[in-house]
Amino acid sequence: MNLTETQDQRALRDQARGFLERRYPISRVAALADGDGFPRQGWEEIAELGWTAIGVSEGSGGAGLGFAEEAVLAEELGRALFPGPFLATVILALPALAADLELQKEVAFGRAPATLAWAGPDGAFETDRFPVGVGRGARRHHLYGSTWFVPDLALAEIAVVAGEGSQGPGVWGVRLGGDGVSRRDLPTIDATRRLGALFLEGAEGTLLAEGEAAVELLDRIRDRVLAALAMEAVGVASTALEMAVQHARTRAQFGRPIGAFQAVSQQLAEAYVEVESARSLSLWAAAEVASGHGDRYRVAAAAKAFATEAAVRTCERAIQVHGGMGFTWEHPLHRFYRRAEWILAFMDRPTGLRERVAASLLDPAEVSEGDG
Amino acid sequence: MDVRDSPDEAAFRVRLRTWLAENLPEGWGTPGFAEPAGPEGLAFRKDWSRRLYEAGFIGLIWPRAYGGFEAPITHQAILMEELGRAGAPDHASPIGLGMAGPAILAHGTEEQRRRYLPRILTGEEVWCQGFSEPEAGSDLASLRTRAEIDGDDYVITGQKVWSSFAHDADQCILLARTDTAAERHAGLTYFILPMHARGVEVRPLTQITGEAEFNEIFLDGVRVPAANVVGEPGQGWTVAVTTLMHERANLAVMLTVRLDHALNRLIALARSTRRGGRRAADDPMVRDRIAALWTDIQALRVTNARAMETIASAGVPGPEGSIVKLVWADANQRLTKLALDIEGPYAILSGGEHAIQDGLWQRLQLRSRGNSIEGGTSEILRDVIAERILGLPRSR
């Protein structure tokens, strides 16, 4: 096993951390969250960094790297609480757009934010039922239905839409400026990553995948999301832990730094243990997803369940260690806490993810001894 | 990033698996096979150790000059995994391999290395550890066993506790106080104590399970040559601590493999136990807890691999390895508790024909309470993380 970062990955991480510290300090992130949200021109700056084309093949003008590098970015973006549509555009939408070079080009190089519309009002991302369907006859690529829980929908110009087509499941690309499209913001606990509802009434779609290929594509996207959110959770938790440690070192009560009290320091040590365990699982999940290995779904599900719970708990511990200050709107901790809760709930909660893991362990006819 | 064996690692794994398949004792691992106990058990483990060594699997990362093979550290991890997977017999001297040997390698004299190291590898000499005392547990540096110089010898008097293998041991790594005037840590010296010397008495210590895995060692004026000091007099603390750090990575792999084994047995229990007309394995709460344990074990596995990589590339252990013992102890305690929950009322039965698996899980559950105490309590380990890794102010 080798999980050590490559030189490229190290350079990308350094670049990202430097850029985010400079351009997105937490004070700016907070102002954007409390104001109108992420600015459209902010995304052009991200595209110029090349982050939207990391996974695009060199033949198509991209970096020809893969998910391992996108995962590095996911962690750094989580660490900074970056408020732009990276998850929506790069993790969710881009893999589907490889089937349409025109759309792919616009998103990877033309600086158009994109997103993925898949779940219905119940928030479930399934491949055997969809809230969207197609019209009949000649209108078979005209889409009807409403999808919910669409990340950064308000910013997106292109949506990848999953639905039920004439040949079974299908995936389409839809220009959101066209006819038959309307959208609504859904008030979201984490204002740095907003959700929307997308209503399609005969909107025209470009077919990207259909039948088994569509299911495979959606499965692949789901695994990417789980692994990326696990990495992001590690980033969020790392910042919360660093804030708490910094506070415990400097805040004095009863004549000494509160970090000298074991009731405080043991909590922070436990948080460290959880964050490092989460990091191990997330690195492994990212490597499995990057390699396309058959076990990637189970690993990504386990990593997302563990890492998001660890992130939520770490934020809660950090808030507790900060005392009254941690309970104020002014202190940025609640923003990390909100992001952690957002990640935990999106796509599938830990109990649901662990049930998938349990099924793989408990339901096959034969359990192989000593596997793993 | 790569989560699979390199070609070289894969070849080593295959060679090891093949050897194990051909050399494990006949009937090993089947329900009817009982590992011999007492003196026969010791002879059995020594024989197994010698054969493992002669096949080239013990002393993988030790220098050739002292009987080792100078292989990459990843081979050592693979060895632990495969021995665990096969449920192979234990080496006769884990304390020798894991603690005494590395200490002598790092701090011993050339003469000590040639005298002791080869016999550790072959299992010919069994080692035990004499660190903890009744009044010195977590606060090890407060230990009171005295070693006073007398001519070419030290004369050692005191009491040690929680010493596994002491009843079979030929040698003991012993921490004793040689300077009562010095600061606590500075007055300690690391000795090699021959267990057959006059004045050494070993008494088994019956533990919470009713078994006696550990011993007390009583030392009454035991004469030990000054040549048996490892490192310099007064450097005992450094010798003990530095060698412990390096060996923790190997121990961690072994603990993780055993935990994985225990999870497989727990899964078998959940699948075969019926309650209220359905399998325990169909109870959503049981399923959630099993999946969480599986996840914890995978986290341990990857954390171990990360720690190995840090040692391989930086030469010293990184901070990530410090979390393994904590996670492992908690996971094993949760695992054994879940087994008793699955057994339901049968959790009360400890043996006899109606007890499940002859009371195995009842013993394992009680034994698991020691996990967060032995080898550093969880509280002490969290203190170490808080101070050394997070940089929080000292609490004591």
Residue B323 at interface with chain A, using a CB cutoff of 8 Å:
yes
**Is residue B219 within 8 Å of B158, Cβ to Cβ?**
yes
Note which residues in 80-119 of chain B have CB less than 8 A from chain A.
85-87
Residue B299 at interface with chain A, using a CB cutoff of 8 Å:
yes
Residue A265's contacts (CB-CB under 8 Å, 6 or more residues apart) are: A248, A259, B382, B383, B386, B387, B390, B392, B395
Residue B383 at interface with chain A, using a CB cutoff of 8 Å:
yes
Beta strands in chain A (DSSP E): 114-117, 132-134, 142-151, 158-165, 168-175, 181-186, 195-210, 252-253, 256-257
Instruction: Say whether pLDDT at A36 is over 50.
Output: yes
Q: How far is B302 from chain A (nearest CA, A)?
A: 5
From A231, A79, A276, A311, select the one nearest B385 (Cα to Cα): A276
Smallest Cβ distance to B281: which of A245, A249, A362? A362
d(CA B382, CA B93): 29
CB-CB neighbours of B351 under 10 Å: 12
Class of residue A259 by CB neighbours under 10 A (exposed 0-12, middle 13-18, buried 19+)? buried
For residue A147, the cross-strand partners are: A198
**pLDDT of amino acid B2:** 55
- Supply A254's token pair: 């009863």
Note which residues in 181-200 of chain A have CB less than 8 A from chain B.
none
**pLDDT of amino acid A55:** 83
- Average pLDDT estimate for B367-379: 94
Task: Check B288 against A354: CB less than 8 A apart.
Answer: yes
Contact residues on chain A for B281, CB-CB shorter than 8 A: 362-363
Contact residues on chain A for B319, CB-CB shorter than 8 A: 276
- Average pLDDT estimate for B107-121: 97
From A204, A173, A201, A168, select the one nearest A94 (Cα to Cα): A173
d(CA B284, CA B289): 9
Task: Check A354 against B391: CB less than 8 A apart.
Answer: no
Percent of chain B clearing pLDDT 70 (strictly above): 98
Residue A269 at interface with chain B, using a CB cutoff of 8 Å:
yes
**Is residue A218 within 8 Å of A127, Cβ to Cβ?**
yes
* Residue range B5-23, pLDDT digits in tens: 889 999 999 999 999 999 9
d(CA A252, CA A265): 14
Class of residue B296 by CB neighbours under 10 A (exposed 0-12, middle 13-18, buried 19+)? buried
Catalytic residue among B213, B247, B374, B387, which? Answer: B247
What is residue B341's DSSP assignment? H
**pLDDT of amino acid B329:** 96
Q: Where are the alpha helices (DSSP H) in chain B?
A: 7-23, 38-54, 73-86, 94-95, 101-107, 110-121, 236-272, 284-314, 324-343, 360-368, 378-384
Mean pLDDT of chain B: 92
d(CA A314, CA A320): 10
- Average pLDDT estimate for B329-346: 97
Residue at token pair 């603390």:
B237
Residue A31 at interface with chain B, using a CB cutoff of 8 Å:
no
- Supply A61's token pair: 């003008």
Q: How far is A186 from chain B (nearest CA, A)?
A: 31
Instruction: Say whether pLDDT at A366 is over 80.
Output: no
Biggest CA pair distance of chain A: 79
More confident residue, B217 or B244: B217
Q: What are phi and psi of A254, to 5 degrees?
A: 55, 30
Contact residues on chain B for A262, CB-CB shorter than 8 A: 379, 383, 395
Smallest Cβ distance to A268: which of B86, B264, B392? B392
Task: Check B291 against A256: CB less than 8 A apart.
Answer: no
Could you tell me the pLDDT band of residue A371, with boundaries at 50, 70 and 90?
very low
Could you tell me the pLDDT band of residue B29, with boundaries at 50, 70 and 90?
confident
What's the predicted TM-score (pTM) here? 0.94
Note which residues in 122-151 of chain A have CB less than 8 A from chain B.
none
H/E/C letters for each residue in A18-60?
HHHHHHCCHHHHHHHHHCCCCCHHHHHHHHHCCCCCCCCCHHH
Smallest Cβ distance to B2: which of A1, A249, A299? A1
For residue A210, the cross-strand partners are: A170
Smallest Cβ distance to B386: which of A268, A283, A306? A268
* Residue range B231-279, pLDDT digits in tens: 999 999 999 987 777 677 778 888 999 999 999 999 999 999 998 889 9
Note which residues in 31-50 of chain B have CB less than 8 A from chain A.
none
Task: Check B393 against A249: CB less than 8 A apart.
Answer: yes
Q: What are phi and psi of B362, to 5 degrees?
A: -65, -45
Query: How high is the ipTM of this complex?
Result: 0.94
- Supply A338's token pair: 């909100």
Distances from the Cα of B74 to the Cα of A21, A154, A246, B25, B146, angstroms: 37, 50, 36, 26, 40
Residue A268 at interface with chain B, using a CB cutoff of 8 Å:
yes
Task: Check B1 against A280: CB less than 8 A apart.
Answer: no
Residue A250 at interface with chain B, using a CB cutoff of 8 Å:
no
Note which residues in 250-269 of chain B have CB less than 8 A from chain A.
260-261, 264, 267-268
* Residue range A128-137, pLDDT digits in tens: 999 999 988 7
Residue A278 at interface with chain B, using a CB cutoff of 8 Å:
yes
Residue A51's contacts (CB-CB under 8 Å, 6 or more residues apart) are: A16, A73, A86, A90
Task: Check B395 against A260: CB less than 8 A apart.
Answer: yes
Catalytic annotation on B247? yes
Percent of chain A clearing pLDDT 90 (strictly above): 88
**Is residue A3 within 8 Å of A284, Cβ to Cβ?**
yes
Contact residues on chain B for A370, CB-CB shorter than 8 A: 85-87, 260-261, 264
Tell me which H or E stretch contains A272.
helix A262-291
Task: Check B385 against A269: CB less than 8 A apart.
Answer: yes
Residue A227 sits at the vertex; the CA angle it makes with A222 and A229, to the nearest 5 degrees, is 95
Closest residue, chain A, to B256 (C-alpha): A372
Instruction: Say whether pLDDT at A367 is over 70.
Output: no
d(CA B158, CA A177): 85
Q: How far is B212 from chain A (nearest CA, A)?
A: 29
Residue B65 at interface with chain A, using a CB cutoff of 8 Å:
no
